[in-house]
Structure 1
């Protein structure tokens, strides 16, 4: 790559990273059950992997061009999250609860309850629910991102929702304000 082309690609990547990092971070926070440190690590790993792909001529990966870098970055984030849980040798967490922070009045208790319930789900279940209901991604796109079949996504979604309902029980209706 020529030096001027490399500088252009670097500037383009910096703009991409600045525009997508907030969205990636919010998704990562949901995936990690509110563990902001792990969320930051996942976003940084995602952006570093994106940078490596970005510098390739024509942005090719696996023999094909990346047509949607934002979607590709989301896929990298979800695969990094699932991979992180596979690599962990123990189920320890650096914090026992979400630290107190000032936030919007009203739905903070609901938000914490949902984050705790999501955190109790297995990583792949959490990834499917966040993709389907937070990111509003179709079943087929979710299957592509997680590299599984659409039937597996439907099954995992159904089972994850049952687990989530079991974890939340009737307490969720008490937290929702009319």
Structure 2
């Protein structure tokens, strides 16, 4: 990798790692898995960075790579459960309401299929359009619409406490 491409990649990572980590966390539901997902994705992207950056919008490529890496990991590890010696870490110093909402959203997202979760994360947490979401996921806009509809229906069923938020999401869709 030449010096310009390396500097460009490092600048991109510094600027976007927080956003990529947020997406990864929403996809995985676990901070450690999210960190691993971002790291694996960036390792896969770095070798192609000069071409990706020349394409104009590296975010779209990296998001798509992140999603595909997540699905790949999910397929390899689905059905496996790992018993823990101790309960998971508790939330840090956050306001009680925000923590409760965060836990409720995380639990609700965990009930969705990976593609449904990805659609919700990309559409409503990353604020992508249906067309941009379809591009990231490599599917048609109609698939994004149906996955969104099904995911919101599922979220309303499993998390009625989030009904007002999902009603707003449905109105946006």
TM-score by length of 2: 0.84
Q: Hey, what does 1:87 align to over in structure 2?
A: 76
Gaps of 5+ in 2: 165-173
Are the structure 2 counterparts of residues 13 and 131 from structure 1 closer, same or farther at C-alpha, using a change threshold of 3 Å?
Answer: same
Of 20, 24, 31, the residue aligned with 2:27 is 31
Match of 1:74 among 37, 54, 63: 63
CA shift digits 1:59-117 (9 cap, x unpaired):
169xxx52201221111111111222122252425766563322234321011111011
The alignment status of 1:111 with 2:106, answered yes or no, reads no
Match of 1:47 in 2: 42
CA distance in 1, matches of 2:15, 2:114: 26
Give distance in 2, aligned partners of 1:94 and 1:30: 22
CA distance in structure 2 between the aligned counterparts of 1:94 and 1:80, rounded to whole angstroms = 24
Q: How does 1:91-170 map to 2 (within 5 A)?
A: 91-92=80-81, 99-169=90-160
TM-score by length of 1: 0.81
15, 21, 25: which one aligns with 1:19: 15
Deviation at 1:141?
Answer: 1.1
Q: CA separation in 2, counterparts of 1:92 and 1:120? A: 16
Query: Do the aligned partners of 1:9 and 1:54 also contact (CA within 8 Å) in 2?
Result: yes
Structure 1 unmatched runs, 5+: none
RMSD of aligned C-alpha atoms?
2.4
Structure 2 vs 1, CA of residues 135 and 93 (structure 1 numbering), >3 Å: closer, same or farther? farther
> 1:114-142, CA deviations, whole angstroms, 9 ceiling, x for partnerless residues?
10110121111100000111111111111
Could you say if the C-alpha distance between residues 165 and 153 of structure 1 is closer, same or farther in structure 2, counting changes exceeding 3 Å?
A: same
Counterpart in 1 of 2:167?
none
Q: What is the aligned length?
A: 163
Q: Deviations over 1:129-158 (max 9, x none)?
A: 001111111111111111111111111110
Whether the 8 Å contact between 1:66 and 1:72 is mirrored in structure 2 is no
